[in-house]
Structure 1
């Protein structure tokens, strides 16, 4: 506003005497540049940061462009990254963090009557008592106000004594600073991840890589510990697409990649991604549950070739039975079982295994339906909505009920399912 006002005033002054537009434009722009250079002395926050007013500098670029247009100058667009005028220095994070007056307050007063110079001076003095970075521009009908203050309400109350307010805007500068820090951190993390991907892509490909669909923090950690290279978030409520699979394949730098869909609904997408990939050998192991994926990964033996490992994985997952404990969202009837909204259900590989009101009882009945004389291992993965103490109690009950089986308890962290239980 200051640069615009001073440039306009200079233009009015020169318009009476200027003999040609070329000299006129040069003089107006020169005066605007002088005004811009003085802005750090007008606004304390600019002086503290060591910068000129950014809006004024932007306006000056417009003036230069208009003058170039007047001259019919051929524009070299490669020069646009070279800023004209005084250099801009960014305010550092510490300066922003130590903001003395937290609210950037702006509004326009629609005056009831013209404001005298004395009244304007008194109003500006009042604003200075509330904060800093004062900009007050007045004419006979309106007053444009900008102030950084901790008490925007007081500035507004005073302004209302002169007339109605319009275009009111109050920004929390400390909050904006925090958002900026978060965005900067996210940008840095993204750049770092991209750099790591580039460095990894530059390395010669390894022989074998693994991609697995997972759901829940605990499940994901288990797959990472087993050596899976890339995890795709998936499950019943968020099934990854063929495109997700292709993106994962692109990020795994390996000649042969095994994919564990871990959900019957995702097997088709994995197969399509395999068929669309030409530069890598893709092996889709048709795992339909998370426990099957874990078992398949454990079954991998580095010394075996691709065909041998694939066969071993397929045989291993055939011996994995999975039960998932969740709740019913509506009344229904499945597999000759009456199910009411809110009931606990034990869902097996091929249908409903148990239904009831008590979560622990339904979990026990579900396991009873899966265990047979050949069972050796019972693995419990408790979900995000299940307390560890309750899961430990279930593990103890199953150890006592099936002493011939090893019972393993893991924090799965999966949503929707209170327990995912496998029997091998």
Structure 2
């Protein structure tokens, strides 16, 4: 029977929780309400936990407070997606509770207080909490154990009671959110949270898990780490001037670099590519990079010898430069969409969106690289907004606004309203108004059979989604897109912008343009080669 937890056991609990989540993240991805091929809750939560555990294992202290501090910091920086942010805030609340303790052995009652603190901080992270989500699971489980405070004698008993209520709460989420019931799923964030807690409970019982996920290298390396050694010893930074900017694909460089090391940051901007990565063989990295262009600057530092804090400055800036009035940051996917946003004045593109939500740390690094008085972040995805907002709290020396742009179409429309001669508040208001005046249409394929708000969906069908709501599901893509346009285009519409995805034929595009003019003969139709995957078409309809 375990009546108290010290730093060593807490660390094992957190490793086990991360590995259990990692081992089940794909099934959690499949709990996505919409049957689209971009369900990512499990992946976001897994990557959030991996970053936190990696940071935690670098802590050489045996103090549970120091370990929890490192954990919450790593989770905060690594948070991806709404559920990842809420998860990071829950463990931040655990740390807030722990740091008030004076002992290194945390009693059952003290940990109950920490669980309640985790619940409180998680709720505060969301401006408008919605019941039937991970928040409900966290709250109801904490309330049940809090009611039994003083009566629970062991951690085994505590976690059994906590998990029993958490599972009960999760199973009830469809009754709180009708969209879950209609889709036949429970809340994915709550399911992921339970996997973390289950892993922690197994560690209390002495059962340590091994990762069965080949991609969970961060967790595996964290579990193997016993001496606090740096895994990748060379901090490598460089800038290259591209030989062929127009044909450059970020993935051609990003993918092999991500396999060589960690802490990868890649920024593609105006014919230059700036890279920061930690590796063991910097020569191989530089040889790879030289295939894409000529070096402008190179910096390699041996971190094992220096043991000094890495300075995340823009490597090309050798002397102070005058700050710009504005810097625009946008999250985009698809080479054509990225180029379009760049052409419209976006200074920094963060690769991500539908299938890979950027972390808080990625936002922080880009914000710190912006040499500007005012920064506007355009998330272009509802699941990215919380991470972006969380980054602003870590960059309190910057004047930042996060637009509530939930789609590429909304972000595109907002850029049309930006005017660098205006002040920050005026631009934010104008861009927000532009978002409210655009309708978003999206066409993608279904990955499973389901029924949502009366629309029957079969796996393989093409779905038309209007402003986040599935309005049609049919076998043919062209039919789905035409019906979607019927819902979006009316007599008040003035501009229809179609971002065409990978594999969309020219003759189909011509039919769609013709259909738009049939709906409104005065409407202006613009087609942009977005080159995005998953979504055949992303459509912005402006009044």
* Corresponding residue number in structure 1 for 2:465: 347
Specify whether residues 373 and 393 from structure 1 end up closer, same or farther in structure 2 by C-alpha distance, changes over 3 A only.
closer
Do the aligned partners of 1:201 and 1:253 also contact (CA within 8 Å) in 2? no
* Corresponding residue number in structure 2 for 1:263: 381
Residue of structure 2 aligned with 1:390, choices 503, 508, 515: 508
Q: 1:385: how far off? A: 2.5
Aligned-partner Cα distance in 1 for 2:296–2:384: 28
Do the aligned partners of 1:384 and 1:414 also contact (CA within 8 Å) in 2? yes
* Corresponding residue number in structure 1 for 2:288: 182
| Matched position secondary structure for 2:435 | helix
Aligned-partner Cα distance in 1 for 2:498–2:455: 25
Query: C-alpha deviations, 1:225-260, integer Å up to 9, x for none?
Result: 111110011121101111111111112111110000
Q: 1:196: how far off? A: 6.9
| Matched position secondary structure for 2:316 | helix
1:365 and 2:483 matched: yes
Aligned-partner Cα distance in 2 for 1:316–1:227: 16
Q: 1:282: how far off? A: 0.6
- Structure 2: 5+ residue runs without aligned partners? 1-282, 300-311
Aligned-partner Cα distance in 2 for 1:191–1:353: 51
| Matched position secondary structure for 1:220 | helix
Aligned-partner Cα distance in 1 for 2:443–2:510: 16
Q: 1:189: how far off? A: 4.3
| Matched position secondary structure for 2:406 | coil
* Corresponding residue number in structure 2 for 1:35: none
Query: TM-score by structure 2 length?
Result: 0.43
Specify whether residues 286 and 192 from structure 1 end up closer, same or farther in structure 2 by C-alpha distance, changes over 3 A only.
farther
Specify whether residues 235 and 190 from structure 1 end up closer, same or farther in structure 2 by C-alpha distance, changes over 3 A only.
farther
Specify whether residues 192 and 300 from structure 1 end up closer, same or farther in structure 2 by C-alpha distance, changes over 3 A only.
farther
Aligned residues: 248
Structure number with higher relative contact order (C-alpha < 8 Å, ≥ 6 residues apart): 2
* Corresponding residue number in structure 1 for 2:327: 209
* Corresponding residue number in structure 2 for 1:105: none
Q: 1:396: how far off? A: 2.5
Specify whether residues 309 and 353 from structure 1 end up closer, same or farther in structure 2 by C-alpha distance, changes over 3 A only.
same
Do the aligned partners of 1:328 and 1:343 also contact (CA within 8 Å) in 2? yes
Q: What is the correspondence of 1:135-284 to structure 2 with a 5 Å cutoff?
A: 181-182=287-288, 184-185=290-291, 189=295, 191=297, 197-199=315-317, 202-284=320-402
Q: 1:186: how far off? A: 6.8
Specify whether residues 277 and 407 from structure 1 end up closer, same or farther in structure 2 by C-alpha distance, changes over 3 A only.
same
Q: Out of 299-308 and 261-270, give the one that drifted further.
A: 299-308
Specify whether residues 387 and 243 from structure 1 end up closer, same or farther in structure 2 by C-alpha distance, changes over 3 A only.
same
* Corresponding residue number in structure 1 for 2:105: none
Aligned-partner Cα distance in 2 for 1:195–1:185: 25
Aligned-partner Cα distance in 2 for 1:318–1:228: 20
Aligned-partner Cα distance in 2 for 1:417–1:253: 34
Do the aligned partners of 2:463 and 2:472 also contact (CA within 8 Å) in 1? yes
1:298 and 2:404 matched: no
Q: 1:371: how far off? A: 2.1
Query: TM-score by structure 1 length?
Result: 0.55
Do the aligned partners of 2:489 and 2:516 also contact (CA within 8 Å) in 1? no
Q: What is the correspondence of 1:322-341 to structure 2 with a 5 Å cutoff?
A: 322-341=440-459
Specify whether residues 366 and 314 from structure 1 end up closer, same or farther in structure 2 by C-alpha distance, changes over 3 A only.
same
- Structure 1: 5+ residue runs without aligned partners? 1-176
Q: What is the correspondence of 1:64-103 to structure 2 with a 5 Å cutoff?
A: none
Q: 1:348: how far off? A: 1.9
Q: What is the correspondence of 1:104-115 to structure 2 with a 5 Å cutoff?
A: none
Q: 1:358: how far off? A: 1.2
Aligned-partner Cα distance in 2 for 1:388–1:262: 27
Q: 1:335: how far off? A: 1.2
Aligned-partner Cα distance in 1 for 2:435–2:429: 10
* Corresponding residue number in structure 1 for 2:307: none
Aligned-partner Cα distance in 1 for 2:427–2:289: 45
Do the aligned partners of 1:378 and 1:408 also contact (CA within 8 Å) in 2? yes
Aligned-partner Cα distance in 2 for 1:268–1:195: 25
* Corresponding residue number in structure 1 for 2:76: none
Do the aligned partners of 1:392 and 1:409 also contact (CA within 8 Å) in 2? no
* Corresponding residue number in structure 1 for 2:33: none
Query: C-alpha deviations, 1:114-138, integer Å up to 9, x for none?
Result: xxxxxxxxxxxxxxxxxxxxxxxxx
* Corresponding residue number in structure 1 for 2:522: 404
C-alpha RMSD of matched pairs (Å): 2.6
Residue of structure 2 aligned with 1:316, choices 425, 430, 434: 434
Specify whether residues 279 and 398 from structure 1 end up closer, same or farther in structure 2 by C-alpha distance, changes over 3 A only.
same
Specify whether residues 332 and 190 from structure 1 end up closer, same or farther in structure 2 by C-alpha distance, changes over 3 A only.
farther
Q: 1:399: how far off? A: 2.2
Do the aligned partners of 1:378 and 1:405 also contact (CA within 8 Å) in 2? yes
